[in-house]
Amino acid sequence: MITTFPGFNNLVHDSQSTFRILLDALSRPGTINQVTAQLTAPSGLNLACAAACLTLLDLETQVWLQPELDRSVQNWLLFHTGCRFTKETNKADFAVIWNMDRMPNLSEFKQGTPVYPEDSTTLLIDVGADNARANNRSPLLKGAGINEEITMPIDLPDSFWQQWQQNYNSYPLGIDIYFFTENKVIGLPRTSCKTNQ
């Protein structure tokens, strides 16, 4: 089945501007970055996540889609990026996650190797609009790219933060994460750590 959704309106400029925003998001963890590109995303992906997929995926990337993601998303990604899909989380270069409650443990993804630590999975997590606000439980982050401390602007479960601590401890190996809500991107690289408050 061929997708009926178009990709970026302006392929070159939209993908370049989105790439710049993704770079900024990962180099300044915890900041909110707005995707400016316009597109009609298939159901199941929000705008920022869809734009990031179109920007990052290509013929050479292995993508793991969380099960039960709408079938139209897979068709859409295949048509516009030509990426390959894998069922094994430890083979994936990118993983698209739409339901955090049922996502696999972070350690199940590709961690990279000491020679090639960059060869690890990057998670693209769609967190939905409800989580997209900080509250008094929101943890503070520290690490590279953060001036002293910053409040993580989205609400994430405690179980996630326990796994994240392990991921942080395994530096220089480990995964990096992008969180997407509507048209906003928040980066969480492996160098960021939750402070004990």
Partner 1 sequence: MKHQTERQAWMEILAKSSVVNIERQVQTLGKLPEYSFLRSPEIGLTMLRGRAGGTGEVFNLGEMTITRCVVKILDTIGFGYVGGRSKRHAELAAVCDGLLQQNEWSFTVQNQVIQPLQTIIQQKQEQQQRQTEATKVEFFTMLRGE
Choose between 3 and 99: whose C-beta lies nearer to partner 1: 3
| Closer residue to partner 1, CB minimum distance, 14 or 93 | 14
Minimum CB separation of residue 6 from partner 1 in Å reads 5
Which range touches partner 1 (CB under 8 A), out of 3-11, 44-52, 105-113, 157-165? Answer: 3-11
* Total chain residues near partner 1 (CB under 8 A): 9
| Positions in 4-33 near partner 1 (CB under 8 A) | 4-7, 11
CA dist 134 and 34 (Å) reads 17
2 counts as binding partner 1 under rule CB under 8 A: yes
Among 62, 70, 79, 84, binds partner 1 (CB under 8 A): 79
- Taking the complex as a whole, the smallest distance from the CB of residue 27 to partner 1 amounts, in Å, to 31
Residue of the chain from 26, 51, 61, 80 that contacts partner 1 (CB under 8 A):
80
Instruction: Tokens 């900080």: give the residue.
Output: 134
Between 11 and 129, whose beta carbon lies closer to partner 1?
11
CB 41 within 8 A of CB 189: no
Alpha-carbon separation of residue 123 from 3, 59, 71, 103 (angstroms): 24, 18, 19, 11
Name the token pair of 82.
């030509």
Which residues are CB-neighbours of 132 under 8 A, at least 6 positions away?
Answer: 153, 154, 181, 182, 184
CB of 31 to partner 1, least distance (A): 32
Provide the 10 A C-beta neighbour count for residue 10.
12
* 57 scored as a contact of partner 1 (CB under 8 A): no
Query: Is 172 buried (19+), middle (13-18) or exposed (0-12) by CB count in 10 A?
Result: exposed
75 sits near partner 1 (criterion: CB under 8 A): no
**Minimum CB distance to partner 1, residue 109 (Å):** 31
CB of 12 to partner 1, least distance (A): 10
3-state class of 62 per DSSP?
strand
d(CA 187, CA 189): 6
Q: Would you tell me which residues interact with partner 1 (CB under 8 A)? A: 2-7, 11, 79-80
